[in-house]
Amino acid sequence: MGKYLSIGQMGKLNNLSVQTLRHYEKVGLLKPSYINEDTGYRYYSMKDFNTIDLIKQCKAMGLSLEEIKEVTNNYTSLESIVDILGNQKKIVTEKMKELENIKNKVESLEAKIKISLNIGINDIFIKYNEERKFIQYNFTDRFSDEFEINLRKILLEVERDYDNVNAEIAFTVSYEDVKREGRAECKNVMINLGENVSYKDDKIISMEKGNYLTMYFDDTYRDSGKYYDVIMKYIESNNIKTIGDFNEIYIMTRVGNDGKEKSLGQIEILIED
């Protein structure tokens, strides 16, 4: 019996748990060399080291246990192994693209938050923006239940059509309504998918490039109206000539365990040079 190793010994020598070795046996990947019929104890031989080394190498390359079984079942055929590795390389390449996309989104959000903190929340400044594209939807009355349901449908469409769950939500707010009546009424909803996106929607609008009077705020979604008073006073006291309507763009929304919401957003309006 000296040439055999118990399942515990085999696990320790290969940094594997007993449960893992039992699972490998269950799926037919690595069977014990000897099973004591009286006790049911599993024992492994030295040749099983090679199989474990192969399993570890394949797992390090991201192969599934089924794919590893295929490798072990066809270990004499280099062609079949090349096919398996070629397929795995394609999968890894796609995963790398996905991870790069995630990294870009994380970096973009991080940069936007840092900019807002560096400039200052509730501080008014002028920001130059290049042309931006949005998908526009003609929904109003943004604080109603119906609006929330319609917005949810929009976001599901975007997730399905563009594989995007990080779209920026924006609203067009009438400058004249704010100026005359002090009301920040929503004229429509807009969705921005970020840079380098091929839009395939017929509701695309382009937001003009130029200098925008801008203010970041960090507050509840329903309390954004009070910031229009601040920015309107700034416009009037500095005799700033504006063009078009306000854009209210949401960068990030957070929700606490108590269900309370807080959003980092910006209010902006194009101004004359």
State the 10-residue block means of pLDDT for the chain, 273 residues long: 83 94 94 92 92 91 90 82 88 89 88 95 96 85 79 84 80 92 85 76 85 96 90 95 95 84 94 90
**What is residue 265's predicted lDDT score, i.e. its pLDDT?**
94
Q: How far apart are CA 89 and CA 31, in angstroms?
A: 29
**What is residue 2's predicted lDDT score, i.e. its pLDDT?**
56
First to last CA, the chain: 89
**What is residue 229's predicted lDDT score, i.e. its pLDDT?**
94
**pTM of the full structure:** 0.72
**What is residue 165's predicted lDDT score, i.e. its pLDDT?**
67
For 78-97, b where at least 16 C-beta lie within 10 A, e where not — what string?
eeeeeebeeebeeeeeeeee
